[in-house]
Amino acid sequence: MDTSILSVTGRIFDIQRFSTHDGPGVRTIVFLKGCPLRCRWCCNPESQSYEIQQMKQKSSVKTVGKDISVGEVLEEILRDRPYYRRSGGGLTLSGGESLLQPDFAVALLTACHENGINTAMETTGFADPAVIERFIPHLDLFLMDIKHTNSRKHEEFTTKPNEKILANAQLIAEKAKKLIIRVPVIPGFNDTEQEIGDIAAFAASLPNVKEIHLLPYHRMGKDKYDGLNRPYLMGDVPPPSAEHMQRLLQVCEQHGLTTHLGG
Amino acid sequence: MNSVYTEKINKSARIPALIEHLFAKMPEIEADRAVLLTESYRETEGQPIVLRRAKAFAHILDKLPITIRPLELIVGSNTKAPRSCQVFPEYSYSWLEDEFDTVATRSADPFYISEETKQTLRKVYPYWKGKTTSELATAYMAPEALAAIEHNIFTPGNYFYNGIGHVTVDYAKVLRIGFRGIADETRAALAKLKVSDGDYARRHQFLEAVLISCDAVCRYAARYCALAKEEAASCADESRKAELLQIAANCERVPALGATSFYEACQSFWFVQMLLQTESSGHSISPGRFDQYMYPYFKADLEKGKITREFAQELIDCIWVKLNDLNKVRDAASAEGFAGYSLFQNLIVGGQDANGCDVTNDISYMCMNATLHVSLPQPSFSVRVWNGTPHEFMLRAAEVTRTGVGLPAYYNDEVIIPSLQSRGLSLEDARDYNIIGCVEPQKSGKTDGWHDAAFFNMCRPLELVFSNGVDKGVQLGPQTGDVTKMTSFEEFYNAYKAQMNYFIELLVNADNAIDQAHADRCPLPFQSSMVEDCIGRGKSLQEGGAIYNFTGPQGFGIANMADALYAIKKLVFEDKTVTMQEYKDALEHNYGKDMDAKQAENITAQVARRLVESGKKLSSEDVKAIYETVSKNDCTEAEKASYQQLLDRIAALPKFGNDIPEVDNFARDVAYTYTRPLLNYRNPRGGQFQAGLYPVSANVPLGAQTGATPDGRLANTPVADGVSPAAGRDLKGPTAAANSVSRLDHFIASNGTLFNMKFHPSALAGAGGLESFVALVCGYFDQKGSHMQFNVVSRETLRDAQKNPEKYKSLVVRVAGYSALFTTLSRSLQDDIINRTQQGDF
């Protein structure tokens, strides 16, 4: 094993063990700090800025973000190896956006593969294709968001247009081991049958893509906005109803996609 | 194995009706057995004890009122009222007499007792003065051991005051040849005796006693046959009439003869199960591998078209209900320790056979159905897991867990089999193990395991290190030196080990005294007739008739002691941020934390009660003195601040349960201070001592008698349960906690370890939730953990159940090694369950 990769450092803000919704089996999720998008509904607002921040919690202040080496993160990941082995689980990179820290992320994925650990990554897909190419050999699964097919609306709600994302989806679909498309279902943004249908049509058009996950909007991140002294732009918008999610599920299935609600 | 039928089978309408009848009234204490026992004993004065026991058993079975409850298919009850109990004055009785007026109103496991029953019992009790096993055991004990019990270092209360139980007899043999067959075997053994044999007297008497018992059981079943016929004759409902006639036919054949159908096998099993609990008051009479010994009868009937899967399921469900019909009254303090009316009848499915092949079968799955259908605490339902366990079996077990019944418990063949081999079991016997009571593994039909021989509180010897062996003004333990003058952690740790070794020796003395008392006064010929090699050796189980003999007292408080010793090592000897004197002061003052009056009263009451039970006379002055000691906490604000600073320092230290190898390996070593010394000792039956690491629910009441500990645990609060991390200290999720616990040596604790984890139901939601749950169990087992069990209820649900118990009468929770109805538990135990760290949110 190339031990030099163990000393590569990156910036993360959390490691969550025994997670079961982001990739197969029992997984450890490493949350990287910094994101190119600013989605209004983001439930991890503390993930967006690359800077280390202070966030108020009930009665204390929490420092969000720390610099850490691949070796240290790997040690934490390896602790749950018995459970990965039994369930086909492993590491999932989340964020933030791991594509912003390619040296660190790729080193971590490489180290995991060298230890026989399955790898997955949740991503916006917003990066130069060359960066994405670096990740592809080291990932068993891409979980990539397609939030909207209309670039103008995409930009309005996430601050970035979607052309680059859609192109990268094509690239990943062609070259990666496996790609699952994920859609955060956000009321007032993309929750109509038409909009979800457009996303599903796009996903179905990608080579090798067979699966789509619809993730209903939730308000669990609201308190964090207060903690960071930021306004919560979603206001009191209620989560989509279970019935509505069922309808959207059918829309996706009509495009021949295996569809899951939640991860 | 492809032919195993794993589908769910519907519940018959009979089952809810049977359950409703069972729970219609409060359980009651009945006096018939005590009266009949005493009558017989009066007539057999001066005869050999084993014959007297057999004759008393026969007299009881001939005269005890019998009843067939409405709609029953499997019959046999040792009480008139459902869920009621007989009493067993041959073991002890004075506690019940003292509690006549409170037993119906106490918080844990209340029983109704009528004035008439009280009168009847008052008449028979004088006969038993000086004749009980508990009195003889007391006489046998070393004074130092009695003092250690009085000071709550350990408590052997279970067998001190009750029968032993804790056995799995050879059910398969009874199903195969019946008690007539066993009697034939006994006669053959008798024929081999020579009157000139040195041990002729003992052997002869024992074998005669077995014959008397076998005959008595056959006559007892015949009484049920007659009763069923009688009820059939007057039954207007044709279908019930047919059922009663079938019951009569069953009882005519079994358990006298071998079973010829699955239905007969069920009835035969039940007679054995119920009568074992009529002969003696011991609990944890465990059915063991029910799926294995029942399967041949089911398979034969199914192949011949004699039975439907639905009816076989209904019969199994009926047995599940009947297992909840049995009951036992314990003294108030023990009732807290074993809370939930639990009889710990452990029934296990799945696993390997003696040849090492997986033998999961149709009945294994039907037992899961039964647990879901009946949804009551009994049986203590368990599953065996190994590398060859079918995945579907694990998923079905996980589904049962998800319903929140607290069942099944999961056991790891890969640890238990080699562990039992290391205790002298053959490979074949080890592979065929089952579980007794909570978590204790053994080979059925060959073992007298004494699995629940005492609770040993590992925190108390540490208190004595701080007091140089003095407890409540008495030099109780050895003088291990002035703790404030100790200069290294080794010196301190050695002092702890010295205290441990001393009290372990006394624990052995106490257990062996009780053991001898049972051999002398309560040999059990009926039970012995179903355990190898009692008949061959001509010896009762209590005298060492079994092939494998053990004594398994359990230690608890590992997590507290690991954290405590680690804290001392770090803060006093490595970082030197605290002096031992400061630590000692803080402990004596309970870290400056006041106790409110109610808390102090509770603690005083519990302490006083324990003292009285262990034989000490307390004046009101003494009680007042205890209260003063408990409630007085006169320290200055400055002292309080410094104690708080110490608490903060302790809180900042790494703790057991968070997947920190350094701390966890330290805990492994601390556990050895209990598990290793025990292995040096032997019991009067010729067997070895072996440690368990589990507390049942004694961690709450016994914690209430333990002062503050160096891990920051406040005085009188519960100590950690089993090998689980201390409550609220495992903060890194379920896999981290499991990894930590797996770092203990589960092989050496061959009497069982207990790891409790609580889940919110949402944690197991969906197919993915079940798969992850299975991965968690298997991942823990791959790392050589021995046992795992789960509570799947929300904190809110439990809080609401405390407020509105009437809405939650059937809410089952996992207490420790068993499940119980939540609303029947004492408030403090309820609180402890709520406060266990809730894993989940994933």
A31 φ, ψ to 5°?
A: -95, 115
Q: Does A25 touch chain B (CB under 8 A)?
A: yes
Of A16, A21, A83, the CB nearest to B779: A83
Which residues in chain A are contacts of B774 at CB distance < 8 A?
A: 86-87
What is the separation of C-alpha B550 from the centre of its chain, rounded to a whole number of angstroms?
Answer: 16
Of B659, B779, B842, the CB nearest to A20: B842
- Residue identified by tokens 């996303």 is A199
Sheet holding B554-556, edge to edge: B154-155, B455-457, B554-556
Which residues in chain A are contacts of B732 at CB distance < 8 A?
A: 17
- Residue identified by tokens 């499991």 is B738
Of A19, A79, A87, the CB nearest to B775: A87
Q: Which residue of A has its CA nearest to B840?
A: A18
Q: Does A19 touch chain B (CB under 8 A)?
A: yes
3-state secondary structure B420-447: HHCCCCCHHHHHCEEEECCCEEEECCCE
Of A16, A20, A82, the CB nearest to B772: A20
CB contact under 8 A, B768 and A79: no
Q: Is the dihedral of CA B484, B485, B486, B487 positive or negative?
A: positive
By residue count, chain B amounts to 842
| pLDDT score, position B19 | 96
How far apart CA B164 and CA B158 sit, in angstroms, is: 8
Cα separations in angstroms, B488 against B291, B485, B569, B647, B661: 55, 9, 8, 22, 23
Which residues in chain A are contacts of B659 at CB distance < 8 A?
A: 79
Of B732, B735, B768, the CB nearest to A83: B735
Cα separations in angstroms, A11 against A103, A144, B236, B537, B567: 11, 21, 81, 72, 32
Of B735, B771, B842, the CB nearest to A80: B735
Task: State how far residue B788 is from chain A, nearest Cα, in angstroms.
Answer: 15
Which residues in chain B are contacts of A117 at CB distance < 8 A?
A: none
- Residue identified by tokens 């004046």 is B619
Task: State how far residue B775 is from chain A, nearest Cα, in angstroms.
Answer: 5
pTM of the model: 0.91
Which residues in chain B are contacts of A87 at CB distance < 8 A?
A: 771-772, 774-775, 779
Cα separations in angstroms, B543 against B49, B192, B551, B705, B776: 12, 21, 13, 35, 43
Q: Does A80 touch chain B (CB under 8 A)?
A: yes
What is the separation of C-alpha B473 from the centre of its chain, rounded to a whole number of angstroms?
Answer: 34
CB contact under 8 A, B771 and A25: yes
Q: Does A20 touch chain B (CB under 8 A)?
A: yes
Of B734, B771, B842, the CB nearest to A87: B771
Q: How many CB pairs under 8 A join A and B?
A: 58
CB contact under 8 A, B659 and A19: no
Task: State how far residue A83 is from chain B, nearest Cα, in angstroms.
Answer: 5
How far apart CA B6 and CA B291 sit, in angstroms, is: 13
3-state secondary structure at position B687: coil
Q: Which residue of B has its CA nearest to A18?
A: B735
CB contact under 8 A, B776 and A26: yes
Q: What is the dihedral of CA B765, B767, B768, B770, to 10 degrees?
A: 70
Which residues in chain B are contacts of A89 at CB distance < 8 A?
A: 775
Type and span of the H or E element at B384: strand B380-385
Adjacent-strand bridge partners of A184: A215
- Residue identified by tokens 């799926």 is B291
Helix, strand, coil shares of chain B as percentages rounded to 5? 55, 10, 40
Of A17, A82, A85, the CB nearest to B733: A17
Which residues in chain A are contacts of B842 at CB distance < 8 A?
A: 16, 18-21
Query: Contact, B469 vs B476, CB < 8 A?
Result: yes
Neighbouring C-alpha atoms within 13 Å toward the C-beta of B607: 24
Which residues in chain A are contacts of B779 at CB distance < 8 A?
A: 26, 80, 82-83, 85-87
Q: Which two tokens stand for residue B130?
A: 């000086």
Q: Does A85 touch chain B (CB under 8 A)?
A: yes
Adjacent-strand bridge partners of B820: B813
3-state secondary structure A180-221: EEEEEECCCCCCCHHHHHHHHHHHHHCCCCCEEEEEECCCCC
Measured distance between the N- and C-terminal CA atoms of chain A, rounded to whole angstroms: 33
CB contact under 8 A, B735 and A79: yes
Adjacent-strand bridge partners of A29: A16, A92
Q: Residue B753 has what DSSP assignment?
A: B
CB contact under 8 A, A19 and B842: yes
| pLDDT score, position B764 | 72
- Best B414, B660, B772 member to test A by mutation, with max A CBs in 10 Å, is B772
Task: State how far residue B418 is from chain A, nearest Cα, in angstroms.
Answer: 21
Cα separations in angstroms, B734 against B394, B413, B414: 18, 22, 21
CB contact under 8 A, A85 and B782: yes
The per-residue pLDDT for range B330-343, each reduced to its tens digit, is 988 778 767 778 89
pLDDT below 50 — which residues of chain B? 1, 816-817, 837, 839-842
Domains and CATH numbers, chain A: 8-261 (3.20.20.70)
Determine the Cα angle at B352 with ends B346 and B357, to 5°: 165
How far apart CA B96 and CA B329 sit, in angstroms, is: 9
Q: Which two tokens stand for residue B57?
A: 């058993």
| pLDDT score, position B43 | 98
3-state secondary structure at position A104: helix
- Please count the other Cβ atoms lying within 10 Å of the Cβ belonging to residue B667: 25
CB contact under 8 A, B775 and A21: no
Q: Tell me the DSSP string of B695-711.
A: -TTTHHHHHTT----TT
Query: Contact, B403 vs B370, CB < 8 A?
Result: no
Adjacent-strand bridge partners of A27: A19, A90
Task: State how far residue B777 is from chain A, nearest Cα, in angstroms.
Answer: 9
Residues 6+ apart with CB under 8 A from B67: B77, B80, B227
A122 φ, ψ to 5°?
A: -90, 130
State the Rg of chain B over Cα.
26
- Please count the other Cβ atoms lying within 10 Å of the Cβ belonging to residue B471: 19
Q: Which residue of B has its CA nearest to A86?
A: B775
Cα maximum dimension of chain A: 52
Residues 6+ apart with CB under 8 A from A62: A54, A55, A56, A227
Query: Contact, A120 vs A94, CB < 8 A?
Result: no
Which residues in chain B are contacts of A17 at CB distance < 8 A?
A: 732-733, 735-736
Q: Residue B574 has what DSSP assignment?
A: I
Task: State how far residue A36 is from chain B, nearest Cα, in angstroms.
Answer: 27
Q: What is the dihedral of CA B701, B706, B711, B714, to 10 degrees?
A: 80
Burial of B11 (0-12, 13-18, 19+ CB in 10 A): middle
Pick the closest to residue A100 from A175, A146, A49, A27 (CA basis).
A49
How far apart CA B437 and CA B167 sit, in angstroms, is: 9
| pLDDT score, position B729 | 82
Q: Which residue of B has its CA nearest to A76?
A: B659
Q: What is the ipTM of this complex?
A: 0.90
Q: Which residue of B has its CA nearest to A28?
A: B735
Of B732, B772, B780, the CB nearest to A87: B772
CB contact under 8 A, A20 and B779: no
Task: State how far residue B93 is from chain A, nearest Cα, in angstroms.
Answer: 51
| pLDDT score, position B812 | 63
CB contact under 8 A, B779 and A89: no
Of B766, B782, B842, the CB nearest to A18: B842
Task: State how far residue B733 is from chain A, nearest Cα, in angstroms.
Answer: 7
Which residues on chain B place their C-beta less than 8 Å from a C-beta of chain A? 659, 732-736, 739, 766, 768-769, 771-772, 774-776, 778-780, 782-783, 842
How far apart CA B366 and CA B318 sit, in angstroms, is: 12
Q: Which two tokens stand for residue A96?
A: 């933030």
Adjacent-strand bridge partners of B358: B352
